[in-house]
Amino acid sequence: MFHTQLPKNNLETREQIFLGQKFIAPTNDLSRSLVESAKSLITEKLGVPDIRKARLTLTDQDFFEKMGELRRIFYLGTEYHEKLRGLIAALGFDPKQCAFDPIRIRVILPGGHHNPKAAPVYYAHRDTWYAHPQSLIVGWLPLHNLSEEETFEFYPDQFDDEVPNNSEIFNYADWIKDGPALKIGWQKSDSGLTGGYPKSLLRTRPAKAEGFSIKTGETLLFSGSQFHKTLEQDLGTIRYSLDFRLVHLDDITNARGAPNVDNRSQGNILADYIQPPLT
């Protein structure tokens, strides 16, 4: 189930998310501005009139290199850190109390699931398997209106039930020992073959799945402990989205968060989040 209105009290929002609730927050001025800025930047960098059909005019290598540059801008750029703080505030969170893992641009290509190098994109997983804390909240914004078959699906019955997985392979210190490439994401063409990406070891898809459609500028919020999977698609257009991860530091102090039923990843990425401003 997806709720379309956030509670007026942010603590209640967080507590509901930690219980497994999912929210699709309405478009607001900050989310609209972020989406338009992102689309404009992508259009400029790719140099194509329709970014959803960029693969028709760009070579695979050219597209990969340009997207790598864009990923660095969104993740490392202080301009986008500030835009994210504005969005966090518009969603009811206090930016002075929240640390965040910055914006990542996600790109799902039509037929991308046929490429072995992209296999980890489609692994069923929990975000917490990447050494995030149990109080992790994930935000996700599409850059276009998306139908249910273009997004991803959640498996609610597994929210507080153990899922067989190999999260023990993930060690954050090892993940970043050669630099920030894996942290930023897809900076090397063979990352999907050589990186240690945790995944579910279930042999079959869970019986109950919840999908969703979403409009550009809306923000999906969910717990990092949600078990979910990006859908394979071959619809002829590229799916672009932005995501971010945040933690309200009071939740760490007060041990609030979703249940940890199967996360065995090692390390603590929270130390490398962008911390709240000092003033």
Question: pLDDT, tens digit, for every residue of 47-56?
Answer: 999 999 998 8
Closest CA relative to residue 151, chosen from 229, 250, 219 = 229
**Structural domains of the chain, with CATH:** 2-272 (2.60.120)
Answer for the pair 172, 195: CB distance below 8 angstroms, yes or no.
no
Q: What is the DSSP string of 203-263?
A: SS--S--B---B-TT-EEEEETT--EEEPP--SSS-EEEEEEEEEEHHHHHTT-S---SS-
Q: What is the structure's pLDDT at 195?
A: 66
pLDDT band at 117 (very low <50, low <70, confident <90, very high): confident
Q: What is the structure's pLDDT at 178?
A: 77
Cα–Cα distance, 167 to 200 (Å, whole number)? 8
Question: pLDDT, tens digit, for every residue of 210-263?
Answer: 999 999 999 999 999 999 999 999 999 999 999 999 999 999 999 999 999 999
Q: Which residues pair with 171 in a beta bridge?
A: 266
Question: pLDDT, tens digit, for every residue of 119-173?
Answer: 999 999 999 999 999 999 999 999 999 999 999 999 999 999 999 999 999 999 9
Cα–Cα distance, 153 to 87 (Å, whole number)? 24
How is residue 214 written in tokens? 């979403």
**Residues counted in the chain:** 279
Q: What is the structure's pLDDT at 107?
A: 95
pLDDT at 190 over 60: no
- As a dihedral over the C-alpha atoms of residue 219, residue 223, residue 228, residue 233, rounded to 10 degrees, the angle is 10
Answer for the pair 83, 33: CB distance below 8 angstroms, yes or no.
yes
